[in-house]
Structure 1
């Protein structure tokens, strides 16, 4: 009888350890820089920084699908009609769908993945511009501990800017981004 109780305890312990390793969700917190490539309307490209938080479903570490929110800040210089140079700051608060899929194991601790974000930034007050946002790129995740990775992302992005104030035209920008973050899965 003691053998069966011990065997049952070992099996339950193994089952619990296996269940604890499979988290059904993931969380991402990242920050990084934005390098403007091309800007519509003859304006200079804007550079900036971004902060993103995403939370979603982990499909057995084979795919990740979630919802995220971010704060993207763009700064740039432009020339007015009179010929003077002005500095502008444009903020967006994108809400986006986050998709990630692992591609290959680079080493025992590293993994290369693809990522894509698609969403919309609502206009909030006079400080935040609205517009469509899309990003895609590659990520490298380096294992920190069981279920948590240090994540580096590099990719291409598109941002549309639409002000609710009359006289400000809708414009868009193509950019590159580089981020570092924490990925818990």
Structure 2
């Protein structure tokens, strides 16, 4: 049975290494959100670094998730001191559980604050696509999907929650609605 891959990408207003209160606040919220999302029904896994690479992005060992990659339009730093991005790559049983996790509870609260932390880039901030059972999506798959979505709009191989497709490639008829709890 196909599973849903979800890639998110945002450009932060300041580098992750910035000691300012706003950056620390983003980190504090982020850790709590990861814990809560990881307990959500339908959640299967997310890309995490192997071994002692925790906290690193570029150059880290991501195992089956592949080499870390970012969209071509990301123009900020790539070193530990200058990187200014937040990104996730996760795997879900279906579209509805992923939507519910993103648009409810603690994650919804952080979405309401996103412009405190993130720049408005004019690019999509997430992309979904279906992967066969047993396949682990890669960072490059996510980047490619996000770039396709930006350039060509939603399609069965790169779509959003609000313009989604079934695993067979048919546009979904039911509109997902915000609500629920995580």
Q: What's the TM-score, normalizing by structure 1?
A: 0.23
Structure number with larger C-alpha Rg = 1
The structure where helix makes up a greater share of residues is 2
Select the structure that is richer in strand: 1
Higher relative contact order (CA 8 A, sep 6+): 2
Under a length normalisation based on structure 2, what TM-score does the superposition of the two structures give? 0.24
